[in-house]
Structure 1
Amino acid sequence: MPPRGSTGRRAEIIRLARSTGLASVEELSAQFGVTASTIRRDLSLLTEEGLIARTYGGAIALGRQPESSIRQRAMQGFDAKHAIAKWAAEQVQPGETILLDAGTTVGAMGDYLRTVADLTVVTAGLTALEALADADAVRVECIGGTLRHLSQGFVGPLAEATLERLTFDRAFLGADAVNSELGICEAELEQTRLKELMMQRAETVYVLAHAEKLGRRPFHAWAPIPAGATLVTDSDVTEDQIRSFEKASLTVAVAPQLMDPAVRPAT
């Protein structure tokens, strides 16, 4: 018999997640005899309390999540990532110097920046470097440092020393998760330290994250986001999510869906 009351139901959700690893909203709704919206509220509360972590598609998994590789992440939320990347690239003006973080969403911006006139791109990620490697119109510089193989990004003292000698018109940062109170979440402290420096050195800061990453706490390393920064997300974002970030003095930009996400930008 399903447990009565929200407290018992949420305790059972945690137990199920511990034993099976994953459970869908629909399965939980049917099992407990409540609506899907009730289950989603339960999951949101448990996520905020750090007891579970939401995964793409509405499933949940308990506990600290293993960091996935950039290849594993490449196809997760593909349409949303490219919609965000396109919107973000459209903010860049000719003649600017911009910083691109590591990661798949920020890296996808490279495809939309290849023809921007007199543009200088400084990057910490191999994904952006690959996208712009043969873009003759764009000056490309890499901050160097120690390569994190999972994220395909550079970190460490050499990367930090380079950033301390540069400033940027705009910085575009990725994230494993974003929380309105705590900021950008990453797997390692050296990643969050680098992101803090990136945000300090830029006139305008953008954090790129599709809606499924918002409100999560998969790891324990954080980089606070400065007031006035812009969170760029996709059309799956909820009004509650938007309000939570706006209360933290952030601007929320919702990237429109691509008309045909299968069509990549001309190169």
Structure 2
Amino acid sequence: MIKKQRQTIILNFLKGKKIVAVETLSNELKIPLTTLRRDLTELEELNKIVKLHGGVEYKEPAFIYEDFFEKKIKDNVKEKETIANKAIKKINKNDSIFIDSGSNGYFIAKNLKADLNLQIVTNSIYNVLELVKNGHENVYLLGGKFTNVTGAILGFEALEALKNYIFDKAFLGVNAVDEEGFIYTTSPEHAQIKIEVIKNSRESYGLADSSKMDRKSFYKFADKESIKLI
């Protein structure tokens, strides 16, 4: 049995239970203690369990609430820079792209060079400022209601405008990805924008650093089948 399968079996066994003794876990699942201890150490590092003296406890996925944009761009900066660079490598010259609001989209806008001659649509004022600073000329900002917490443009006007666009690539902010691969954002208003963008894009990518994994948020808008995760 490969490690990932074994660790999934361990987590499924622990769900819904209180503290389980390590020896009990080993006996019930027929996993040698040495192998089990290595798996438990890795699962604790992934924030999925809590190791206790002689036992282990399943850690329920935390629920993610929306935080202010100014705070989010200071969190997990190295990971977000890495995600931005991976996303940029997927963009071809002369592409039409959508860059979503949020901190991961912001890092794409911040690092995206103008020599690709792109057509860029975004629903974030912060993205526009970075793109213009980098020399991009064909930048379009959706109209609608400005949301102070995330810096996003949302609402009816934005949705109506999106219906007129076709994108080669779309890069969407993700607030959480649960264990089953469902992808979340924090409100129906944010979700409506993302769903419309996915419908009008040839390729859609979700941007998620490690703090978003195995967690949930308020509104489910996609899964790993409908968009690719970076």
TM-score by length of 2: 0.74
CA distance in 1, matches of 2:186, 2:111: 28
Q: Report the secondary structure of 2:177's partner residue.
A: strand
CA distance in 2, matches of 1:93, 1:138: 16
Tell me the residue number matched to 1:84. 83
CA distance in 1, matches of 2:81, 2:188: 27
Query: Aligned AA for 2:167?
Result: F
CA distance in 1, matches of 2:68, 2:166: 29
Query: Aligned AA for 1:97?
Result: S
Deviation by residue 1:128-179 (Cα, 9 ceiling, x = unmatched): 1121123334411011211111111111001100101111000000111123
Q: Map residues 57-136 of structure 1 onto 2, 5 A cutoff.
A: 64-136=63-135
Which stretches in structure 2 are left out of the alignment for 5+ residues? 1-13, 21-44
Deviation at 1:226, TM superposition (A): 6.7
Q: Map residues 183-194 of structure 1 onto 2, 5 A cutoff.
A: 183-194=182-193
Query: Aligned AA for 2:106?
Result: G
Instruction: Pick which of 97-106 and 111-120 moved more.
Output: 111-120
Tell me the residue number matched to 2:223. 225
Deviation at 1:113, TM superposition (A): 1.5
- Identity level (%): 20
Q: Report the secondary structure of 2:223's partner residue.
A: coil
In our comparison, the structure showing a higher alpha carbon Rg is 2
Q: Kindly indicate whether the alpha-carbon contact (under 8 Å) linking 1:175 and 1:184 is maintained by their aligned counterparts in 2.
A: yes
CA distance in 2, matches of 1:176, 1:109: 17
Deviation at 1:74, TM superposition (A): 1.2
Q: What's the C-alpha RMSD, in Å, of the aligned pairs? A: 2.5
CA distance in 2, matches of 1:224, 1:173: 11
CA distance in 1, matches of 2:137, 2:128: 11
TM-score by length of 1: 0.65
CA distance in 2, matches of 1:147, 1:9: 46
Q: Kindly indicate whether the alpha-carbon contact (under 8 Å) linking 1:117 and 1:137 is maintained by their aligned counterparts in 2.
A: no
Number of matched pairs: 190
CA distance in 2, matches of 1:65, 1:119: 33
Q: Map residues 2-21 of structure 1 onto 2, 5 A cutoff.
A: 7-9=17-19
Tell me the residue number matched to 1:33. 53
Please list every run of at least 4 consecutive aligned residues from structure 1 whose deviation after the TM superposition is greater than 4 angstroms: none
Change in Cα spacing, 1:8 to 1:178, as seen in structure 2 (3 Å) is closer
Which stretches in structure 1 are left out of the alignment for 5+ residues? 1-5, 11-23, 48-52, 54-63, 233-267
CA distance in 2, matches of 1:206, 1:67: 20
Deviation by residue 1:221-253 (Cα, 9 ceiling, x = unmatched): 110237363110xxxxxxxxxxxxxxxxxxxxx
Change in Cα spacing, 1:163 to 1:151, as seen in structure 2 (3 Å) is same
CA distance in 2, matches of 1:226, 1:163: 23
Deviation at 1:180, TM superposition (A): 5.8
CA distance in 2, matches of 1:152, 1:172: 16
Change in Cα spacing, 1:94 to 1:138, as seen in structure 2 (3 Å) is farther
